[in-house]
Chain A
Amino acid sequence: MIQIANVVKRYQIRGGERTVLDRINLQVNRGERVGILGRNGSGKSTLIRLISGAELPTSGTITRQMSVSWPLAFGGAFQGSLTGLDNLRFICRVYGTTSEDKIPFLQEFSELGNYLREPVKTYSSGMRARLAFAISMVVEFDCFLIDEIIAVGDSRFHEKCTRELFEKRRDRAMIIVSHDPGYIREHCQYAAVLVEGKLTSFDDPDQAFDYYNASSAEIA
């Protein structure tokens, strides 16, 4: 279970403070897939970083009682001067798993061939996305945090990712943030909407979409 209680996140900006997340509450149980809808800049990525523990909340608590992934996105979480393989080794060391037996999967899935031995900073964004997703699938978690995973390269690779994440790992909990209601509808049982720092949860995803569309129209 993941329990988010009264979480507030403020950032210092020029001339004051900005409250990005304002008293957020959310509970995610084992095996549940929750979607969080929000427009660009609504604080979705901040929320997912807080849940992952990469950043700390200004106040409030986040309790993790199952293993939680880092925020999976197509980029980030990699050191650019290291090669693809060295990034794999780093992540395996950090999460306490063996790396050499994961290399065949990484090669097969990422289709990067000899580029795996080149520094990640020389990769194109599509190559980075393939590496990122493949490495993300190497370490197993009870709960995966997924940040805008939809922006991935061609449709064939997109299908491969969907199969790996949503079919092979259908028993895991997931928290998915996105601005796309269609994507959330396809993969989540519950949905919540993040508007102006407030998170509103709905048991019925359709209600969430209505609320999201209404609030989007209001702001626009």
Chain B
Amino acid sequence: MSQQSALSRSLQIQFRVIGALLMREVITRYSRHNIGFLWLFLEPMMFTLGVTALWSFAGGHNFTNIPIAAFALTGYSSVLLWRNMPNRCSKAIEPNLALMYHRNVKVVDIFAARLILEVAGATASFIALGIIFTAIGWIKPPEDILKIMFAWAMLAWFGSALALLIGALSERSEIVEKLWHPASYLLFPLSGAAFMVGWLPDNAQKFLLLLPMVHGVELLREGYFGSMVHAYYDMAYMAVFNLCLTLLGLSQVRVISRTVIPE
């Protein structure tokens, strides 16, 4: 067998396995009962609606002339995107241990299936809510959809890389999961979901711009509001950060792949 065909065959098997795991995740998460996999959209949709409502009642619009619904939508959707992926990947192996009796089912496939599902859910709810809010006149259509897509992809990359790392480390030690939960809550207010970097004092800006997701959210907002906001971001910094995180995550996945024992 030539090298080319061996690679394409491996890819074929990998896609097949990830597809099977995707269906398995959809079934156990959303079940065959009631409205089933529609929850994929509805869950994040309800979160975003709730936050928009809270924000409006709390008078967040006093700080800025930015339309509040659009501000909450872009902010909270991006948090859902990068935060839920690590949540779903931590302790993801154990419920799937029995399936790892099948040689081609690998740790990385289990993570990949969960990541795909999470990105699909967050993206679908972001798009659906954007369309609904625009249709009923709460928000204006975005200014630059390409910029939004780029920012969204970068946030998804960050979330996936972080999820691989957290997912792999959580298999090695219980402490990782315990630490991740408070860390994710602490990161939420710092992530740029509830502010624009430009509103803050200089020294706070410097500190916050160390966080990679802040750059993604800033770009997302620039794509949405265009000239209404002045965004601060350095996508090269975010890309380098993501790349390092991805390599670190994949190396840890490789470490645990060697030690996982099927149930």
Residues of A within 8 A of B (CB): 49, 52-56, 68, 70-71, 76-82, 86, 89-91, 93-96
Contact = CB atoms under 8 A, between A and B. Distances in A.
A71 B101 contact: yes
Contacts of B28: 79, 81-82
Closest 4 CB pairs of A and B: A93-B20, A53-B103, A77-B101, A81-B28
30 contacts: A49-B261, A52-B103, A54-B262, A55-B261, A56-B257, A56-B258, A68-B103, A76-B98, A77-B98, A77-B99, A77-B101, A77-B102, A78-B99, A79-B28, A79-B98, A81-B95, A82-B28, A86-B24, A86-B27, A89-B20, A89-B23, A90-B20, A90-B23, A90-B24, A91-B102, A93-B19, A94-B104, A94-B105, A95-B102, A96-B13
A49 B24 contact: no
Interface in B1-34: 13, 16-17, 19-20, 23-24, 27-28
A77 B99 CA distance: 5
Interface in B237-263: 257-258, 260-263
Interface of B is mostly: helix
Given A90-B20, A93-B20, A94-B20, A54 B27 contact: no
Given A81-B28, A82-B28, A86-B27, A52 B101 contact: yes
Interface of A is mostly: loop
Nearest to A93: B20
Interface string B197-223: 000000000000000000000000000
A79 B101 contact: no
**Taking each of B102, B104, B258, which has the highest tally of chain A beta carbons within 10 Å of its own beta carbon?**
B102
A52 B96 CA distance: 17
Contact of B96 (A68, A79, A94): A79
A76 B98 CA distance: 6
B42 interface: no
Contacts of B13: 96
Contacts of B102: 54, 70, 77, 91, 94-95
Contacts of B258: 56
B40 interface: no
Contacts of A79: 24, 28, 95-96, 98-99
Contact of B101 (A68, A76, A80): A76
B233 to A, nearest CB: 41
A54 B101 contact: yes
A54 B19 contact: no
Interface of B: 13, 16-17, 19-20, 23-24, 27-28, 95-96, 98-105, 257-258, 260-263
Nearest to A86: B27
Given A54-B103, A70-B102, A91-B102, A76 B24 contact: no
A70 B98 contact: no
A207 to B, nearest CB: 32
Contacts of A53: 103
Contacts of A82: 24, 27-28
B16 A96 contact: yes
A55 B16 contact: no
A146 B234 CA distance: 57
Contacts of A96: 13, 16
A66 to B, nearest CB: 13
A101 to B, nearest CB: 17
A166 B28 CA distance: 36
Nearest to A78: B98
B238 to A, nearest CB: 35
Nearest to B261: A55
Given A77-B98, A81-B95, 15 more contacts: A52-B103, A53-B103, A56-B257, A70-B103, A76-B262, A79-B24, A79-B28, A79-B96, A81-B28, A86-B24, A93-B19, A93-B23, A94-B16, A94-B17, A96-B16
